[in-house]
Amino acid sequence: MKMSKLFVQTLREFPSDAEVVSHKFLVKAGYIRKLTSGVYNYLPLMWKVLKKVENIVREEMDRAGAQELLMPFVQPKELWEESGRWEVYGRELMRLKDRHDREMCLGPTHEEIITAIARDGLKSYKQLPVNLYQIQSKFRDEVRPRFGLLRGREFIMKDAYSFSTSQEDLEKEYDNMARAYKRIFDRCGLPTKMVQSDSGAIGGSVSHEFMVITDTDAGENDVFYCDDCDYAANSNHAVSNLPPAKTDGAEFGMNEYKVVDTPDMKTIDDICAFLSIDPTVVCKSLVYIADKEPVIALIRGDKQVEETKLMNAAGAIDIRIATAEEIEELMMKNGFDAKAGFIGPMGMNNVKIIADNTVKELKNFVIGANENDKHKVGVNWDMLPEVKFVDIRLTEAGELCPQCGKPLKVTRGIEVGNIFQLGTKYSKPMNAVYMDVDGKAKPYIMGCYGIGISRTAAAAVEAHYDDWGIKWPISIAPYHAIVVPVSCNDELQMKVANEVYEKLLAAGIEVVIDDRDERPGVKFKDADLIGFPFRITVGKSIQNGNVEFVIRETGSKEEMTPDKAVEYVISHVREALQNN
Ligand code: ATP
Ligand code: MG
């Protein structure tokens, strides 16, 4: 490819709406252009990268025994009603009507469609297990599309779905997919961590995410991990053990139950300072709205609630903190008049209360009195409505690893893929069954496995860049190399550059020759910005028989003969593309 013909417009500046590196560079280097919020054109360079990621995914999924198909992007409401998701899937689901007023949606994911396909074609245990996948654009009307391709509204995903006859077979396929995922991300030049993650309100199910670890804003997930063992989990699922703490109010002289004045003391810090106690003897009460219903979450004063855990414990699919008005209404319903800061579980008989494990141990503790400017001290569980104790606590760094007891660390991660044991979540309600050995109809035991193709490409930029631009891993770079004649008017330089270019092409290397009559500085800048893994510069030293060979990843520069440079590129590329 000639640079003069390559469809690419690099920009001088970063786009003003870009906050993270991948978004900045992919726009500046001419890979993508925004069409509308969260929707991008993938220009030729980007499309080459995406196809390479897709092909790695495809090869590894095929190698793992999965079969590719392609489902429609537009889906009918009826199937979503069968699964029960039409009602509960929130506003991320882009709903529309056709000319006959039939309701449809743009596919955000394809569980319903694939389950219907399976139900139609997989009738006997003899046909199972099966794993079917597709690579396709998805649409989700994300609340906050941002970070370019990392969180778009339209994006490309690989989604796979497995159908088995037993939990044991599902687990086998799950492990098979985990291995395939590791190979995929390794081949894309992306180190990932496989971490435990939340799998929604369905009890007993298992899921893991593949995270690209980063210390930048692009990492939207907190990942807790242990250096001493293999424990790693998304914050929405991470658990920890706590070091011992003072949890009996008697240690602070609060052995007697009474109501005390706490004028204007709305925060835990205020109350602790005022009463000279540790927050570990305070039982904090927080009001949330779970699927429109209020719930009260109880947790020890020094700890925070993890909202996904609370949502699951409430059996809800949506959770948010209650407004002042909603709190007022809830208190009235229970016969009280108190604002946030003075709420407690005593006498709250008309609301679901979910208590964190941390409050179970408390004795002679402090709660809000359900009366403004007052708290109750010396409280014990026998005075309170019965509650269920569960884990709704946000893990914090420094707390102890649940597996080995060493302090946990925290970092941030970009989720590039996930694997999920669904069980019969879709097959049961959709009556998707096969005939088992015993002649009985049984629902498939399903798994689903996603990879964000466009997010993976962007994550690769987050993991490989410098001040000048992108440093693509060879396996997914749009082109492997660029040949840069310093002066297009110099006959010898042009001749050698063309020879080098032809030799690389003949060896199957994807190469660009920068034939533009531009200053060398401009050419080098563009080469670095676009991120060609190798650059062969043909300049003045060709008079001594040498070219300059530059490796983008390390920045190393070396003078050598054109033939040696050609050989280097070929051998490096071949080595990088090996995939055994
Ligand atoms: P997230 O928590 O980041 O919203 P998710 O759990 O909703 O992800 P899945 O529904 O499991 O994601 O989708 C599978 C994969 O698709 C994710 O692992 C991610 O790589 C990718 N993905 C999900 N949402 C987006 C998006 N808005 N833009 C780009 N890629 C996405
Ligand atoms: Mg999402």
**Ligand 1 mean position, distance from CA 364 (Å):** 46
**Which is nearest to 54 in space by CA: 322, 451, 494, 336?**
451
Q: What is the pLDDT of residue 42?
A: 98
Find the mean pLDDT for residues 152-167.
98
As a whole number of angstroms, the distance between CA 354 and CA 573 comes to 57
- Ligand 1 contact, 453 CB (< 6 A): no
Query: Do 215 and 312 reside in the same domain of the chain?
Result: no
Question: So what's the pLDDT on residue 580?
Answer: 61
| Chain-centre distance for alpha carbon 33 | 23
> Domain count of the chain?
3
Task: Using the mean position of ligand 1's atoms as its centre, give its distance from the Cα of residue 136 in Å.
Answer: 13
Question: What is the pLDDT averaged over residues 546-567?
Answer: 97
CA-nearest residue for atom 16, ligand 1, is: 452
Q: Six-digit token pair at 319?
A: 């959770």
Q: Is 83 helix (H, G, I), strand (E, B) or coil?
A: helix
The reply to whether ligand 1 has any atom less than 6 angstroms from the CB of 151 is yes
Ligand 1 atom with least separation from CA of 157: 16
Same domain flag for 196 and 68: yes
Task: Confirm whether 547 is domain-assigned.
Answer: yes
- Kindly tell me if the per-residue pLDDT of 202 is higher than 80: no
Is residue 443, in this structure, part of any structural domain at all? yes
Q: Give 452 Cα–ligand 1 centroid separation in angstroms.
A: 6
Is residue 138 domain-resident? yes
Give the per-residue pLDDT at 7. Answer: 97
What is the structure's pLDDT at 162? 98
Tokens of 98: 């056709």
238 in any annotated domain: no
For the residues 410-429, what does the mean pLDDT come to? 96
What is the reported pLDDT for 216? 85
Q: Which residues of 375-387 are buried (b: 16+ CB within 10 A; e: fewer)?
A: bbbbbebeebeeb
Beta strand pairing call for 511-513 and 481-485: parallel
How many residues are there in the chain?
580
CA of 448 to the centre of ligand 1 (A): 13
Query: Does 158 share its domain with 273?
Result: no
- Cβ-contact 74, 107 below 8 angstroms: yes
Does any ligand 1 atom lie closer than 6 A to the CB of residue 135?
A: no
In a shared domain, residues 165 and 27: yes
Range of the domain at 373: 249-390
pLDDT (average), residues 58-86: 97
Q: What is the mean pLDDT of residues 396-421?
A: 97
Query: Separation of 306 CA from ligand 1 center, angstroms?
Result: 20
Whether residue 464 contacts residue 456, with contact meaning beta carbons closer than 8 Å, is answered with: no
Same domain, 440 and 489: no
Of all residues in the chain, what percent carry a pLDDT higher than 70?
99
Orientation of helix 44-63 relative to helix 167-187, angle to 10°: 140
Instruction: Identify whether residues 28 and 122 lie together within a single domain.
Output: yes
Give pLDDT, residue 226.
96
Q: What's the pLDDT tens digit per position in 272-311?
A: 999 999 999 999 999 999 999 999 999 999 999 999 999 9
> What CATH number does the domain containing 570 carry?
3.40.50.800
**Interval between CA 73 and ligand 1 midpoint (Å):** 17
The pLDDT confidence band at residue 551, using thresholds 50, 70 and 90, is very high
The pairing of strands 319-321 and 283-290 is antiparallel
Find the farthest-apart pair of alpha carbons in the chain and give their distance in angstroms, rounded.
Answer: 97
Q: How far is the CA of 433 from the centre of ligand 1 (A)?
A: 29
Our answer on whether the CB atom of 417 is closer than 6 Å to any ligand 1 atom is yes
* Rounded Cα distance, 14 and 467, in Å: 12
For the Cβ of 109 lying below 6 angstroms from any atom of ligand 1, the answer is yes
At 373, the pLDDT band (50, 70, 90 cuts) reads very high
Answer whether residue 203 shows pLDDT above 90. no
141 CB within 6 A, ligand 1: no
Residue range 164-198, pLDDT digits in tens: 999 999 999 999 999 999 999 999 999 999 999 98
Q: Of the residues 398, 433, 462, which one is the last residue of a structural domain?
A: 462
In DSSP terms, which residues pair with 211 in a beta bridge?
193, 415
Following CA atoms 30, 36, 37, 38 in sequence, which dihedral angle do they give, to the nearest 10 degrees? -60
What's the whole-number mean pLDDT along residues 551-570?
97
Q: Does ligand 1 come within 6 angstroms of the Cβ of 23? A: no
Relative to the CA of 152, which ligand 1 atom is closest? 28
Whether 120 is in a domain gets the answer yes
Residue-wise pLDDT for 450-494, tens only, equals 999 999 999 999 999 999 999 999 999 999 999 999 999 999 999
Whether ligand 1 lies within 6 angstroms of the CB of 192 is answered as: no
Look up the CATH number of the domain holding residue 325. Answer: 3.90.960.10
Q: Are 52 and 60 in contact (CB under 8 A)?
A: no
pLDDT at 498 over 80: yes
What would the pLDDT profile of 233-254 be if each residue is shown by its tens digit?
999 999 999 999 999 999 999 9
Q: Is residue 234 part of a domain?
A: no
108 alpha carbon – ligand 2 mean position (Å) = 9
Question: Do 91 and 198 share a domain, yes or no?
Answer: yes
Q: Compute, in angstroms, the gap from residue 141 CA to the centroid of ligand 2.
A: 10
| 311 shares its domain with 424 | no
513 CA distance to ligand 1 middle (Å) = 37
142 Cβ closer than 6 Å to some ligand 1 atom: yes
Residue 201's pLDDT band, with cuts at 50, 70 and 90, is low
274 shares its domain with 359: yes
Identify which of 42, 106, 157 to mutate to test ligand 1's pocket (most ligand atoms within 8 A of the CB): 157
Domain boundary among the residues 390, 424, 452 is at: 390
The finding on whether 393 has its CB within 6 A of some atom of ligand 1 is no
> Which residue's CA is the nearest one to ligand 1's atom 8?
415
Which ligand 1 atom is at minimum distance from the Cα of 220? 3
| Nearest 10 degrees: Cα torsion 519, 526, 51, 447 | 170
Q: Which protein residue's CA is at the shortest distance from atom 29 of ligand 1?
A: 151
Q: Is 189 within a domain?
A: yes
Q: Is 291 left (phi over 0), alpha (psi -120 to 50) or beta?
A: left
CATH number at residue 98: 3.30.930.10
User: Does residue 493 fall inside a structural domain?
Assistant: yes
- Which residue has its alpha carbon closest to ligand 1 atom 31? 452
Mark whether 377 and 452 lie in a shared domain: no
Residue 152 near ligand 1, beta carbon < 6 Å? yes
Cβ-proximal residues to 384 (8 Å cutoff; 6+ apart), any chain: 345, 346
Q: Whose CA is nearest to atom 28 of ligand 1?
A: 151
Residues 314 and 167 in one domain: no
What secondary structure letter does DSSP report for 244? -
CA 277 from chain center: how many Å? 40
Please state whether the predicted TM-score (pTM) of the whole model is above 0.75. yes
533 Cβ inside 6 Å of ligand 1: no
276 with 368, same domain: the answer is yes
pLDDT attached to residue 204 = 58
Does the beta carbon of 471 sit less than 6 angstroms from any atom of ligand 1?
A: no
- Check if 148 has its Cβ closer than 6 Å to any atom of ligand 1: no
Instruction: Tell me, using a 6 A CB cutoff, whether residue 157 lines ligand 1.
Output: yes
Q: Flag whether pLDDT at 225 surpasses 60.
A: yes
Helix/strand/coil for 540: helix
* Average pLDDT for the chain: 96
> Can you give the pLDDT at residue 317?
83
> How many whole angstroms from 149 Cα to the centroid of ligand 2?
13
* Ligand 1 nearest-atom number relative to CA 109: 10
